[in-house]
């Protein structure tokens, strides 16, 4: 059996953190596969460029604004997406922040906010989207990080949040498998984005030297993995964490 050239034709996808970097690449990749994409950022205006790029490929894309840590706002947004785009088949939880600091210098506020956005935000969307996804045997892809698997000095808050996403993914996969919903995670390694651009050149070179494939990843490396799990190719995969890091964590 050959797969459709647009395997997500007729599907509706919601992507958080879609204004730039990995999230923008994911949104466009899903649109290229035929999905109508709801592009979510903290403010709708920040996701507008991504939505327009998706709209040019598959009509129906729209930008939305939401604080992912606000449970009521997330529920309202998911309801709006279903009304505006005609349903919800695929959820990609990509929104995330960093507030790096060694533990002895890290403030409680910085710890709490990273957990709220990265972990609670993922839970908020999974909960709000669960009923529509159960109706269509939908897909959830949560973007975690290899830091959530390996830990990293100066990122206790970020690593804890991303490790939590892995545990959340496994638990919800068990809860919703009986309803046909597949829930997986993707753990990117070092990817070239605005978030990693602040790393100085020496540190980048040192990190790149540790990657067996010999190159820094790009956002489309992650987007391709999302498309794989979101489409029919991912129909018998659930509860897994797919590491996409060029071998960095080996």
Per-residue tokens: 236: 């018998």
Per-residue tokens: 34: 């035929």
Q: CB of 164 within 8 A of CB of 115?
A: yes
Q: CB of 228 within 8 A of CB of 30?
A: no
Residue tagged active-site, from 64, 158, 190, 236: 158
For residue 137, what are the CA distances in angstroms to 11, 52, 236? 12, 28, 12
Q: Is position 158 annotated as part of the catalytic site?
A: yes
Residues 6+ apart with CB under 8 A from 194: 20, 21
Residues marked active site are found at: 158
């Amino acid at each position: 059996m050959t797969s459709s050239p647009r395997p997500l034709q007729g599907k509706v996808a919601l992507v958080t953190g879609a204004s730039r970097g990995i999230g923008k690449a994911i949104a466009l990749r899903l649109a290229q596969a035929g999905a109508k994409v709801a592009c979510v950022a903290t403010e709708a205006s920040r996701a507008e460029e991504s939505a327009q790029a998706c709209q040019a490929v598959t009509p129906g894309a729209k930008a939305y604004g939401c604080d992912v840590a606000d449970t009521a706002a997330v529920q309202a947004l998911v309801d709006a997406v279903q009304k505006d785009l005609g349903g919800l088949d695929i959820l990609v939880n990509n929104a995330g922040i960093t507030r790096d600091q060694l533990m002895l210098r890290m403030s409680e506020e910085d710890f709490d906010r990273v957990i709220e956005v990265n972990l609670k935000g993922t839970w908020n969307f999974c909960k709000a989207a669960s009923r529509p996804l159960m109706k269509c045997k939908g897909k959830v892809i949560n973007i975690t990080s290899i830091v959530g698997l390996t830990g990293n000095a100066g990122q206790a808050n970020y690593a804890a949040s991303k490790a939590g996403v892995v545990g959340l993914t496994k638990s919800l996969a068990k809860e919703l498998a009986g309803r046909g919903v597949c829930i997986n995670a993707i753990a990117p390694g070092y990817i070239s984005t605005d978030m990693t651009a602040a790393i100085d050149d020496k540190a980048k070179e040192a990190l790149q030297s540790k990657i067996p494939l010999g190159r820094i990843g790009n956002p489309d490396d992650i987007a391709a993995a999302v498309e794989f799990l979101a489409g029919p190719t991912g129909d018998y995969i659930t509860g897994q964490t797919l590491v996409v890091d060029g071998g960095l964590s080996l």
